[in-house]
Amino acid sequence: MLRRALIAASGSRVLRRIAEDAAVASSVAGRFVAGTTLDQALAATGQLNRAGMSVTLDHLGEAVHDAAVAARNTGAYVAALDAVHHAGLDASVSVKPTAVGLDVDQELCREHVARICTRAAQTGTHVTLDMEGSQHTQGTLDLVLDLRGKGQDNLGCAVQAYLYRTEHDVRVLSGAGASLRLCKGAYAEPSSIAHQSRTDVSASYLRSAEWLLQHGVHPRFATHDHVLIGRIRDLAVRHGVGLDRFELQMLYGVRPPLQRRIVDAGHRLRVYVPYGQEWYPYFVRRLAERPANLTFFLRALVGRRGS
């Protein structure tokens, strides 16, 4: 119930305005968001690179219904790719389709994603389309399949294990050569289309993970669940998959000690680093995902207000 309430709050314009105007909230959100500017994101990227971790940058913004804003977000990604290249950093980019126009016009969005992919290819890196709510799942898959068919072979996407359709989608996308990021899912979806229990979601995740280890194209496993990470490692050993053939992914600011242990154990780890002014929806979904995140936020909020 709390998770659903928080996810609903992530879409509230009123709560978003209040939070973005509150210096305390934005300060605490800095645990999960690298900053509001590209320079701050690049500084965080450099620090993570020096610790042996790769990065995927997310310029925050979503649910855009204005073509001019979608174009501006696209330009921000191109600027990020140029800056990463010039700085010699190890970073790819992650793009929410609705940030670059999926809710405005699918063809416009396709043009924007193609522009980002082209610049990424020129700088030798990869583009991942983030997976948003279920109303955008098919549109996101269509973008990946269409653009890969037109030669954008550095484009992949995230898939969400809690959706019933995902095991089929994994096979279709992998068949097109797409590299996939497998995650559990961060939106509130009904039981008609998504697993509801943690046990069922984890079981679905592991089924797709095992298939990807055997048949996928450089699969990327996004989870902070140390039990799942151990199971993925066991599956890789069972199927003779070397550590260089897949990577683990985690979110900026979530379980840093575990991130360091993963790298020390010889695994490839990529950290998802969000930045930008539009931090509120992303931050609230992080609170919804894990009770520990919400506890951290409330304690910090009380502490800062009392200081």
CATH number, position 261: 3.20.20.220
> Does residue 42 form part of some domain?
no
> Does residue 1 form part of some domain?
yes
pLDDT for 149 equals: 97
CA distance 126 to 226: 26
Higher pLDDT, 2 or 152: 152
Say if residue 12's pLDDT is above 70.
no
94 and 157 co-located in one domain: yes
When the pLDDT of each residue in the chain is averaged and rounded to a whole number, the result is 89
Residue type, 16: R
Cβ neighbors of 272 (< 8 A, separation 6 or more) are 55, 56, 58, 94, 222, 249, 250, 251, 252
pLDDT for 263 equals: 97
The two three-digit tokens of residue 208, written as one number? 């797709």
In Å, what is the CA distance from 260 to each residue of 17, 269, 272, 290, 292? Answer: 35, 9, 15, 20, 19
DSSP H or E stretch at residue 16? helix 13-21
The two three-digit tokens of residue 77, written as one number? 């990604």
106 and 244 co-located in one domain: yes
Q: Measure the CA dihedral 154/102/57/289, to 10°.
A: -120
Say if residue 130's pLDDT is above 90.
yes
Say if residue 7's pLDDT is above 80.
no
29 and 156 co-located in one domain: no
112 and 158 co-located in one domain: yes
CA distance 22 to 145: 42
Give the closest residue to 243 by CA, choosing from 260, 264, 271, 227.
264
First-last CA distance in the chain: 32
Say if residue 298's pLDDT is above 70.
no
Give the chain's domain count. 2
Say if residue 280's pLDDT is above 80.
no
pLDDT for 301 equals: 46
221 and 301 co-located in one domain: no
144 and 63 co-located in one domain: yes
> Does residue 134 form part of some domain?
yes
> By percentage, how much of the chain surpasses pLDDT 70?
83
107 and 235 co-located in one domain: yes
Indicate if 264 belongs to the active site.
no
Say if residue 228's pLDDT is above 90.
yes
> Does residue 49 form part of some domain?
no
Q: What is the CA radius of gyration of the chain?
A: 18
Give the closest residue to 248 by CA, choosing from 237, 238, 235, 233.
233
Q: Compute φ and ψ for 181, nearest 5 degrees.
A: -100, 115
Say if residue 21's pLDDT is above 80.
no
Task: Choose the weakest-confidence range: 17-31, 148-162, 243-257.
Answer: 17-31
CA distance 133 to 130: 10
pLDDT band at 18 (very low <50, low <70, confident <90, very high): very low
CB burial of 30-39 (b: ≥16 within 10 Å; e: otherwise) equals: ebbbbbbebe
* 59-118 pLDDT, tens digit each: 999 999 999 999 999 999 999 999 999 999 999 999 999 999 999 999 999 999 999 999
pLDDT for 306 equals: 44
pLDDT for 187 equals: 87
In Å, what is the CA distance from 258 to each residue of 184, 191, 261? Answer: 18, 32, 5
8 and 141 co-located in one domain: no
Indicate if 181 belongs to the active site.
yes
* 101-121 pLDDT, tens digit each: 999 999 999 999 999 999 999
Domain interval for residue 305: 1-33+279-307
CB-CB contact of 103 with 112 (8 Å) = no
125 and 17 co-located in one domain: no
Say if residue 215's pLDDT is above 60.
yes
- The mean pLDDT value for 120-126 works out to 97
pLDDT band at 15 (very low <50, low <70, confident <90, very high): very low
> Does residue 234 form part of some domain?
yes
Query: Residues in the chain, how many?
Result: 307
CA angle (37, 49, 97) in 5-degree steps:
50
Catalytic residue among 110, 119, 148, 181: 181
247 and 290 co-located in one domain: no
Say if residue 291's pLDDT is above 60.
no
Higher pLDDT, 267 or 31: 267
Say if residue 16's pLDDT is above 60.
no
Catalytic residue among 58, 103, 130, 169: 130
> Does residue 193 form part of some domain?
yes
- The mean pLDDT value for 20-37 works out to 69
127 and 168 co-located in one domain: yes
> Does residue 50 form part of some domain?
no
> Does residue 3 form part of some domain?
yes
117 and 251 co-located in one domain: yes
pLDDT for 113 equals: 98
CB-CB contact of 62 with 21 (8 Å) = no
Say if residue 41's pLDDT is above 70.
yes
